Amino acid sequence: MKKALVVYSGGLDTTVCIPVLKEEGFDEIHTVTVDVGQPEADIEQASERARLLGTKHTVVDAKATFASDYCMPAIAFNADYFGYPLSTAIARPLIAMEAARVAKQNGPFDAIVHGCTGKGNDQFRIEFGLRQHAPGIPIRAIIRERNWTRSEEIEYAEKVGAPIAQSKVKIWSIDENLWGRSIEGGRLEDPSFEPPEEIFQWTTSPERAPDESTIVEIGFQCGKPVALDGKSLPALELIARCNEIAGMNGVGRIDMMEDRMIGLKVRENYECPGAVLLIAAHKALEALVCAPHERRFKQLVDAEWADLVYKGLWSDPLFEDLTAFCQQIQSRVEGVVRVKLYKGSLTVIGRQSPWALYSEADASFDDASFDQNAMAGMVQTHGMSSLLFSRLKEK
């Protein structure tokens, strides 16, 4: 008996994999959907389609783990890949790990199957995670193997009677989790096309946002947001609430040109209101507590971390090294940040911390405790090599 496990979203790409496997002689097919904050309707649709297709279906509720073990580190590293808060990327290692766990529990399996195409980044992220957590089990990518276009997938699904009614009429390709929504496909592939308002679900347009600003206060401990407006909240609830608050004020829309791992440059649209808010607040607090050399080096660390996460290399040795450095910094990222949200804009208007490397007395223009005369010698030696270079050029 041949057994396969499909990492199943319920969408077109993963749905057509199931009849293909049956045609290839797989007698028993399991499906697993990992819930990292998708809409409940999507989870229910996946379960119903799995039932119609005759698979043994499992839903894994990983929302709390995703919030605490993936979104929180993303905040600590001010997660940003050329303007993208890595909302889709940070979910893939967790999905792969949970799928591998289900494979071990219900196996042995002759194959683990995913629905990634050969053009995207997820094929790298998912397969790396599966090879790490379920070594030895062959990995199949049906869409990539058959080199199918979306139209060809739909044609095949109609021929075999696969349940794809919603996918057929769906204009946009949407991936959603707790940390953000990605929207692509259709006319959005044209970089000159203005995204229509219909693609947005989490964010109000700035024009329709409230006429009064919203001020939110975020409390941090060890680099993690732990309180909202003075109320302590678990990670999952806090992120969800930040999505609501920032989204209603039109904050969190991202329209960017993204360089995929295989070299393709593509236009991507994201809604990440909570991520944008929390990362901005975290960066403001880091700026208050970090020494100048730390701040400069932390920017390099953040960029390296984002690059590894974008590629799905969550367990790379450098990833562990960067994490160790970041944890040392985060032990002092404690305090409160106040942020003003207004019609698509976000402004940090206050920050305080017991670890603040700031002296109001020394910084104030109205305080005489700082002896300004002591700076004369330092100023005279500033830029000596630059001055010498200028004089040599003049000669």
Query: Residue 279's pLDDT is what?
Result: 98
> Do the beta carbons of residue 142 and residue 5 sit within 8 Å?
no
Query: Residue 73's pLDDT is what?
Result: 97
pLDDT at 286 over 90: yes
Highest averaged pLDDT of the listed ranges 19-23, 186-190, 390-394: 19-23
Query: Residue 249's pLDDT is what?
Result: 98
What is the C-alpha separation between 387 and 395, in angstroms, rounded? 13
> Do the beta carbons of residue 271 and residue 180 sit within 8 Å?
yes
Is 173 one of the annotated active-site residues of the chain? yes
**Which of 35, 110, 122, 302 does the annotation list as catalytic?**
122
Query: Residue 364's pLDDT is what?
Result: 61
Give the number of other Cβ atoms within 10 Å of residue 240's Cβ: 16
CA 271 from chain centre, in angstroms, equals 11
Return the bridge partners of 177, or none. Answer: 180
Q: Among positive and negative, which fits the CA dihedral 143, 148, 151, 154?
A: negative
> Do the beta carbons of residue 256 and residue 82 sit within 8 Å?
yes
What is the C-alpha separation between 60 and 44, in angstroms, rounded? 13
**Which of 9, 13, 125, 302 does the annotation list as catalytic?**
13
Model pLDDT for residues 39-55, shown as the tens digit of each residue = 999 999 999 999 999 99
Is 232 one of the annotated active-site residues of the chain? no
Report the chain's terminal Cα–Cα distance, integer Å.
85
**Which of 49, 92, 140, 332 does the annotation list as catalytic?**
92
Model pLDDT for residues 133-151, shown as the tens digit of each residue = 999 999 999 999 999 988 8
Average pLDDT, stretch 305-325? Answer: 96
Model pLDDT for residues 81-114, shown as the tens digit of each residue = 999 999 999 999 999 999 999 999 998 999 999 9
**Which of 47, 68, 173, 315 does the annotation list as catalytic?**
173
What is the C-alpha separation between 310 and 313, in angstroms, rounded? 8
What is the C-alpha separation between 337 and 352, in angstroms, rounded? 7
Tokens 């970041």 appear where? 326
Is 125 one of the annotated active-site residues of the chain? no
pLDDT at 374 over 90: no
Q: How confident is the model at residue 186 (pLDDT cuts 50, 70, 90)?
A: confident
Assign 365 to helix, strand or coil: coil
What is the C-alpha separation between 45 and 47, in angstroms, rounded? 5
Is 338 one of the annotated active-site residues of the chain? no
Tokens at residue 121, please? Answer: 């980044």
Domains and CATH numbers, the chain: 3-176 (3.40.50.620), 205-352 (3.90.1260.10)
pLDDT at 167 over 70: no
What does pLDDT average to over the chain?
A: 93
pTM to 2 decimals? 0.91
pLDDT at 365 over 70: no
Give the number of other Cβ atoms within 10 Å of residue 192's Cβ: 6
Tokens at residue 251, please? Answer: 């904050």
